[in-house]
Structure 1
Amino acid sequence: MTILVTGATGTVGRHVVRALDRRGAAIRALARDPAKAGLPAGVAVATGDFLDVDAMRAALSGVSTLFLLNAVVPDEVTQALVALNLAREAGVGRVVYLSVIHADRFVNVPHFAGKLAVERMIEAMGFEATILRPAYFIDNDRTVADVVANHGVYPMPLGHKGLAMIDAGDIGEVAALELLRREGAAGPLPSERLTLVGPQTLTGPDVAGIWSEVLGRPVAYAGDDTAGFEQALRRVMPPWMAFDMRLMAERFQTDGMIPQPGDRERLTALLGRPLRAYRDFAAGLAA
């Protein structure tokens, strides 16, 4: 049978496809433009998106397990519910869904609340599911690497509570392992949630300190100005999204993204190797 990977050309989805491909899985990747997908040779690509019902029906035909990942967009919940309803129509019973850590707590943050709604619909529709709840992606900081390197400032207002940042490659590999576990099961498996975290819980000053060590020169933490953060983001994204990101940053500062006891050990055992650290990411970019 076949695993359908949505979001297959994005930050996490590419890692999911590669991890499945390395393990010899039958994969179908959903992409708007197959010519630009850039996925491994031999991976079947289905053309379409979540709101193209006919294309989604075709993409889901013959699929046994669904990896559901949709972007932060105004109609994120609608997209997910269209996909889930079409999956159920196609007889797909198993889902791995990429949600977010603290989706049930950060309910004032639009994209967190949206992912919680999708989690609840997955449960209500009776799918056998693994809900993945990752913390802040280490890879998000690719967008600020030039600022760090050229201006000596780490600009993300992460605050002082700490975020257990995780590498996108680790997320993708965990997702692939869960997809294969459900795909290969002889019978129904219970649904579960996995909190995905990295090896360290880092504050804004901690991250600036890592960059200082990697670059060999001082890097300052820009501070906790979420209003200024919103205004900066409005230069590169729509105002609604910039406001969403500001609300998220405010919860970083009041709550953090803190793992529960055993979260890291569970992931390390699942992967069979250490989780990738922020320092490895920063050193790779600096090199």
Structure 2
Amino acid sequence: MTILVTGATGTIGSLVVQGLAAAGAEVSAFVRTAGKQRFPTGVKEVVGDLTDISSLRAALSSVRTLFLLNAVTPDEVTQALVVLNLAREAGIERVVYLSVIHADKFTNVPHFTGKHTVERMIESFDIPATILRPAYFMQNERMVQQVIQGYGVYPMPIGSAGVAMVDARDIADVAVAELLRRDRAVAPSPRVTLELVGPELLTGESVAKIWSAALGRDVNYGGDDVAAFEGQMASSAPSWLAYDMRLMMAGIQKFGMHGADGATDRLQAILGRPLRKYTDFVNETVAASSELQA
């Protein structure tokens, strides 16, 4: 029996596949297009779509443990609920689901409320699952790296309430640990929810200072104007996604993104090491950019 990883070509999913393969697990990577990405030796590529019932049934037929990650799309909720229903139909009792932190608080943000709906299904059917609730990914900053380095402006309107940004590598490592724990257990484990956060609270101003130090020149925070942020994002992304992100940023400004007391200690106990810090991520990113330009 195998561990099936959905979203296997994305930032988190590809790292999860690598981590599971390195641990000697039997892994299947669920992909929409064959050969798009080179996976580690021994990983089986399974072609299908999260809206194609027949391909999902086939993919889930020999699976023991499921990692459910589906992208932010207009039909995200449908995809996730269909997969979970088919997983129950196939008798799968070991699930790790990638949700989002404060899914129950940011009630006007479509993809937050969508993931909370999926969490409610997991709870109502008492599915043996680990629900991972990550905060804002550090790796999201790569989308605006050119703006930061080219114009000296940090454009993400994250405000001053504080965001515990988390490195995608830490998210993936926790996911791998939970998948292996569930897969290797004699019986299905009780449901658990983990908030995945970084070790420090960051604001727009503090992030700009970190980039300034890494680049050796001034970087200023672009401010809290979420309407301007939406307009800029809509120039390169679907309008529904730009508006979704605007609502998320407004929520971040109002509530912040904070883990509960003890969240970082719990994660570091699972990982057996400290969580990655934002300053180190920025320094790595700047160094990698310099190497490409050399």
TM-score (norm 2): 0.96
Give the Cα–Cα distance (whole angstroms) in 1 for the partners of residues 37 and 48 of structure 2.
Answer: 12
Give the Cα–Cα distance (whole angstroms) in 2 for the partners of residues 100 and 60 of structure 1.
Answer: 24
RMSD in angstroms over aligned alpha carbons?
A: 0.8
SS in structure 2 of the partner of residue 59 of structure 1: helix
5 Å matches for 1:1-287? 1-287=1-287
Shift of 1:127: 1.3
Shift of 1:126: 2.8
Unmatched tracts of structure 2, length 5 or more: 288-294
SS in structure 2 of the partner of residue 133 of structure 1: strand
The one-letter code sitting in structure 2 at the alignment partner of 1:4 is: L
Kept in 2, the 8 Å contact 1:6–1:13? The answer is yes
Shift of 1:61: 1.2
Deviations 1:178-218 (A, max 9, x none): 01111111123110100000111100111101000001111
SS in structure 1 of the partner of residue 4 of structure 2: strand
The one-letter code sitting in structure 2 at the alignment partner of 1:137 is: F
Give the Cα–Cα distance (whole angstroms) in 1 for the partners of residues 280 and 56 of structure 2.
Answer: 38
Shift of 1:284: 1.2
Question: Which runs of 4 or more aligned residues in structure 1 lie more than 4 Å from their structure 2 counterparts after TM superposition?
Answer: none
Kept in 2, the 8 Å contact 1:31–1:37? The answer is no
Shift of 1:279: 1.1
Q: How many residues align?
A: 287
Give the Cα–Cα distance (whole angstroms) in 1 for the partners of residues 230 and 179 of structure 2.
Answer: 36
% same residue:
59
Give the Cα–Cα distance (whole angstroms) in 2 for the partners of residues 183 and 218 of structure 1.
Answer: 49
Give the Cα–Cα distance (whole angstroms) in 1 for the partners of residues 120 and 38 of structure 2.
Answer: 33
Shift of 1:41: 2.3
Give the Cα–Cα distance (whole angstroms) in 2 for the partners of residues 107 and 76 of structure 1.
Answer: 16
TM-score (norm 1): 0.98
The one-letter code sitting in structure 2 at the alignment partner of 1:23 is: A
Alignment match, 2:292? none
SS in structure 2 of the partner of residue 162 of structure 1: coil
Give the Cα–Cα distance (whole angstroms) in 2 for the partners of residues 258 and 237 of structure 1.
Answer: 28
